[in-house]
Chains A and B, each alone.
Chain A
Amino acid sequence: MKGAYLMSRIEIKGLTKIYGDTVALDNVDLSLEGETIYGLLGRNGAGKTTLLNLLTGKTHPTTGRVTIDGEPVWENDSALGNVFYMTEPNLYPQSLRVRDVLKWTAEFYPDFDVNYADELAQRFGLNTKKKVKELSTGYASIFKAILALASGAKILLFDEPILGMDANHRELLYKEILAHYSEKPKTIVLSTHLIDEIADLLEEVIIIKKGQVILKQTVEDLLASAHTVSGEASKVDSYIQGRKCIAWEQLHNFKSAVIFGSDQDRTLAKSLDLEVHQPELQKLFIGLTNS
């Protein structure tokens, strides 16, 4: 059972956003429970950032509504104050020093933990005396991620949080998000293209395709519902006949395919002398968004 530390439920009803001739988001219904780490996945232009912008009132929906714990978010400070949204573009005053941004963020978020922010800055090697405009792309991401983690908000939304970060910093950030979540469970939404790297962090995935939510499922269930078979191409071909194959790769006579199927299917595949294993989340994502 989820604890009662920072429960926050986001409810999205009939959300549509149209820019000119482009339907960025098409009648989306979604509900995000508290104390869960979600992965918001989708190809470029699928509508991920639009959805996050609508969740935080950055942009006005064409139709539909978003509520947090029953309160509409549009122009509502009490609902918006529960959320920290780490945007991909840098919205911070360019001439302000990092330490001043930390100070002012503490003014806007009463639960902001300045000591924790300082500690994270040290751990990531972020020089807080630098001006925002002097930060490299990677350090600008680190700076925004630190603000998010220290904000004390009940809901943290990360849009491309690891942009420009090197592998060491990415690893450190994933560990920090997990440690932070373990200590203070909350609703976290991670939107990124590096699916394999965050796969272990996620509890649920939301996949958006062409402005529509095509899947919302726990990672455990999603991975359990599919399997990868590999072996001789003719055997794989005969096995996938009549089954829901979402992706396949072939090299000479060796073929592997990702299939949605039951435990019985796995057993059958094994009996056909095919190798059966759990697919990677990224493979499933590619299959689902390509089909």
Chain B
Amino acid sequence: MHRIHSVAKYQIADNRNGVLVYYAVLIGLALIMVATPNWNSTGTTSLSGVSSMIFIFVLGLNCFRSSFLFCQANNISRRSFYFATILSLLVLAVILSLCDLVLDAVLGRYPFYEGFFEQIYPASGFAKILWTTALFTFSASLGWMITMIYYRANPWVKVLVSISPIVVITLAGYLHQRTDGVFGYALFVLLGKALGFSAQGPNPYPAMATFVLASMAIWAVNYLLMRKTPVRPY
């Protein structure tokens, strides 16, 4: 347990500067928006949400190799590293969602600004923190899984993984066409349900459950990838 805590502490510290720079940029942009007269008078702008989701995805992409090798240099088991990585990504997701909450609360006073969550769901406060934390956890875990697949894979599998999004999109388009739009509609309905969109209006809680379950599924895959991961030095 001591080693899990130490590794998580290291991983969080390792990302500290990145998070500080990211929010410094967001605050800079916010100041420009506030200082510019009639900023976006026709609609609303959001700084948080999508950009933070992409940012934490990148953190997930960068969370593995260097940290794993450092742990191996210190004889830390793969299992401890695995749990520490989950812990650190969870902490980073909470930190980012709290920072976004503060940013949205401050900028929400201006008519041109509406937070990403508020643009989708009517709820706010606690539900927003839970939703953004779940989304960021999913995004970070996805980044972690991709980087692990690339680390483990041989060149052929790397190519296969790289072209897989194109294959999936092409296949989906083909199925959509073959089924006269039924496939696309079914997918749309499924995604809508997974994200809590129903006739009664949008609800963030099903989306939270979806993100949590998807994150757990990714962690299960990552556990299998982690089990006998070889040490590949720089």
Contacts and interface: CB of A to CB of B under 8 A. Distances in A.
Interface of A: 53, 56-60, 75-77, 80-81, 83-85, 87, 89-94, 104-105, 107-110
B70 interface: yes
B3 interface: yes
A59 B159 CA distance: 26
Given A59-B231, A91-B231, A92-B69, 16 more contacts: A53-B231, A58-B231, A77-B77, A77-B80, A80-B77, A81-B3, A84-B75, A87-B233, A89-B233, A89-B234, A91-B69, A91-B73, A92-B70, A93-B67, A107-B6, A108-B74
Q: Is the contact region of chain B dominated by helix, strand, or loop, or is it mixed?
A: helix
A108 B75 CA distance: 9
Contacts of B78: 75
Contacts of B233: 87, 89-91
Interface in B42-79: 66-67, 69-70, 72-79
9 nearest CB pairs, A to B: A89-B233, A91-B73, A108-B74, A91-B69, A80-B75, A75-B77, A107-B6, A93-B66, A60-B228
Contacts of B70: 91-93, 104
29 contacts: A56-B75, A60-B228, A75-B77, A75-B78, A75-B79, A77-B3, A77-B77, A80-B75, A80-B76, A80-B77, A81-B3, A84-B75, A85-B75, A87-B233, A89-B233, A90-B234, A91-B69, A91-B73, A91-B234, A92-B69, A93-B66, A93-B67, A104-B70, A107-B6, A107-B9, A107-B10, A108-B3, A108-B6, A108-B7
B228 A91 contact: no
Contacts of A89: 233-234
B76 A92 contact: no
B230 interface: yes
A85 to B, nearest CB: 6
Interface string B154-188: 00000000000000000000000000000000000
A134 B112 CA distance: 48
A105 B73 CA distance: 9
B70 to A, nearest CB: 5
A188 B233 CA distance: 24
A75 B231 CA distance: 14
A111 B52 CA distance: 39
A86 to B, nearest CB: 9
A161 B126 CA distance: 55
Given A77-B80, A93-B66, A108-B3, A58 B74 contact: no
A76 B80 CA distance: 9
Contacts of A76: 77
B73 A94 contact: no
B6 A81 contact: no
Interface in B67-100: 67, 69-70, 72-80
Given A77-B80, A81-B3, A91-B69, A109 B74 contact: yes
Nearest to B231: A58
A137 B9 CA distance: 29
Contacts of B2: 110
Nearest to B74: A108
B204 to A, nearest CB: 38
B74 A105 contact: yes
Given A58-B231, A77-B3, A108 B69 contact: no
A182 to B, nearest CB: 25
Candidate in B7, B69, B73 with the most chain A CB atoms within 10 angstroms: B73
Contacts of B72: 58, 91
Contacts of A94: 66, 234
A77 B2 CA distance: 10
Contacts of B10: 104, 107
Contacts of B73: 87, 91-92
A68 to B, nearest CB: 11
Contacts of B79: 75, 77
A135 to B, nearest CB: 13
A104 B14 CA distance: 11
Nearest to B68: A91
Contacts of A60: 228
Contacts of B74: 105, 108-109
Contacts of B80: 77
B147 to A, nearest CB: 15
Nearest to B232: A89
A133 to B, nearest CB: 9
A164 to B, nearest CB: 16
